């Protein structure tokens, strides 16, 4: 968690031993854990812990559009609400959604739209609520990743999953998955997301300075990191069905044993 004000940012973000301040290698991701089906009242949901970030996503739809005037006669609408809890950062965040939250909601929506078949759902809406409980850099990437998982958990037809990660530059070194302090005190931040059905980047933002060669290298680093994170998304989805299968087998066994005892 970043507790520092700008003047107190560390001068160096790489340690004497060449590691990052949190002990990671340049290309190492923070630990990532994901789980689906975590909110019973939602049509689909997912939770992610990515380093110190903790984020829930809940999906509803297709359902009636409120307010009605937002409905489109020829296609469904996707509405994304990214919000940070007031207690998710060290200094209390104002509860009302600010410009940053509106911008991040918009870019996550633009990122998710290409994988959905909105043209098949005229007059309806899909709503994705993202709640950041704890924030420490890279929340837009973690939110995009967990939102895609929640859409898949809802059983909404998708062309593919989407995965996101930020590449950055700190102390003249390209690194994968910026932490909060690296994001704030580093030289560049390049959040990106990929849609796997066409292998295209559906999010590419840039803040800071790097050379064209570094930019190309960053995309290569991102691609490798994204493949790893995609594997974790797949595992989280599969785990849900493995758990269901185990529960069904367990209850079948209980019924059979009950039958045997009666016989
Ligand atoms: P991202 O979370 O996608 O990296 P930013 O670069 O805007 O987005 O923010 C970087 C980090 O700064 C966030 O992850 C969070 O830890 C912190 N942060 C963002 N907004 C606030 C805020 N209003 N107050 C304090 N910290 C914030």
Distance 181 CA to ligand 1 centre (A): 10
**Closest ligand 1 atom number to CA of residue 140:** 3
Distance between Cα 121 and ligand 1 center (Å): 34
Residues (pLDDT < 70) of the chain are: 1-7, 261-263
- Long-range own/partner contacts, residues 89-95 (CB < 8 A, 24 or more apart): 89/1, 89/2, 89/135, 90/1, 90/2, 90/3
What is the 230 CA–ligand 1 centroid distance (Å)?
24
Ligand 1 atom index nearest CA of 104: 3
- Is the CB–ligand 1 distance for residue 91 below 6 Å? yes
For ligand 1, whether the C-beta of 168 sits within 6 Å is no
How much distance in Å is there from the Cα of 188 to the middle of ligand 1?
15
| Helices (H), ranges, the chain | 99-112, 139-153, 180-185, 212-262
Distances (CA, A) of 219 to 160, 201, 222, 248: 20, 9, 5, 44
| pLDDT of the residue at 2 | 46
Separation of CA 217 and ligand 1 centre (Å) = 25
pLDDT recorded at residue 90: 86
Residue position matching structure tokens 């790097």? 210
Q: Residue 75 pairs with which residues in a beta bridge?
A: 72
Element (H, E) at 48: strand 44-50
Q: Quick one: which H or E segment has residue 79?
A: strand 77-84
Q: Which residues share a beta bridge with 48?
A: 34, 55
Specify the ligand 1 atom closest to the Cα of 90: 25
Ligand 1 neighbourhood includes 137 CB (under 6 angstroms): yes
For the CA of 178, the nearest atom of ligand 1: 4
Q: Is 96 in the pocket of ligand 1 (CB under 6 A)?
A: no
pLDDT reported for residue 204? 95
145 in contact with ligand 1, CB cutoff 6 A: no
Q: What is the 3-state secondary structure (H, E, C) of 162-217?
A: EEEEEEEEECCEEEECCCHHHHHHCCEEEEEEEECCCCEEEEECCEECCCHHHHHH
Residue-wise pLDDT for 19-58, tens only, equals 999 999 999 999 999 999 999 999 999 999 999 999 999 9
Residue-level pLDDT at 3: 52
> For the chain, how long is the longest CA-to-CA vector?
78
Which protein residue's CA is at the shortest distance from atom 25 of ligand 1?
89
Per-residue confidence (pLDDT) for residue 259, from 0 to 100: 74
User: In angstroms, what is the span from residue 204 Cα to ligand 1's centroid?
Assistant: 17
For 114, the token pair is: 């290409």
């Amino acid at each position: 968690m970043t507790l520092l004000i700008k003047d107190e940012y560390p001068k160096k973000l790489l340690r004497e031993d060449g590691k990052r301040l949190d002990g990671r290698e340049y290309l190492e991701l923070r630990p990532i854990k994901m789980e689906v089906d975590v909110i019973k009242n939602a049509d689909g949901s997912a939770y992610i812990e990515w380093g110190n970030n903790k984020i829930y996503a809940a999906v509803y739809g297709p359902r009636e559009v409120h307010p009605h005037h937002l409905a489109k006669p020829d296609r469904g609408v996707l509405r994304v609400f990214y919000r940070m809890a007031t207690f998710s950062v060290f200094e209390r965040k104002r509860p009302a959604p600010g410009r940053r939250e509106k911008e991040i909601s918009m870019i996550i929506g633009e990122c998710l739209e290409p994988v959905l078949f909105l043209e098949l759902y005229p007059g309806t809406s899909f709503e994705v609520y993202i709640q950041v409980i704890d924030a420490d850099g890279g929340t837009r990437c973690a939110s995009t990743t967990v939102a895609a998982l929640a859409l898949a958990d809802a059983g909404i037809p998708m062309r593919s999953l989407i995965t996101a990660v930020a590449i950055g530059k700190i102390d003249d070194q390209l690194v994968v998955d910026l932490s909060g302090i690296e994001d704030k005190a580093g030289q560049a931040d390049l959040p990106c997301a990929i849609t796997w059905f066409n292998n295209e980047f559906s999010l590419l933002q840039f803040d800071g300075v790097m050379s064209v060669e570094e930019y190309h290298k960053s995309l290569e680093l991102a691609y490798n990191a994204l493949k790893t994170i995609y594997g974790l998304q797949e595992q989280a989805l599969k785990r849900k069905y493995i758990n269901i299968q185990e529960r069904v087998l367990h209850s079948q066994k209980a019924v059979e044993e009950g039958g045997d005892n009666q016989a």
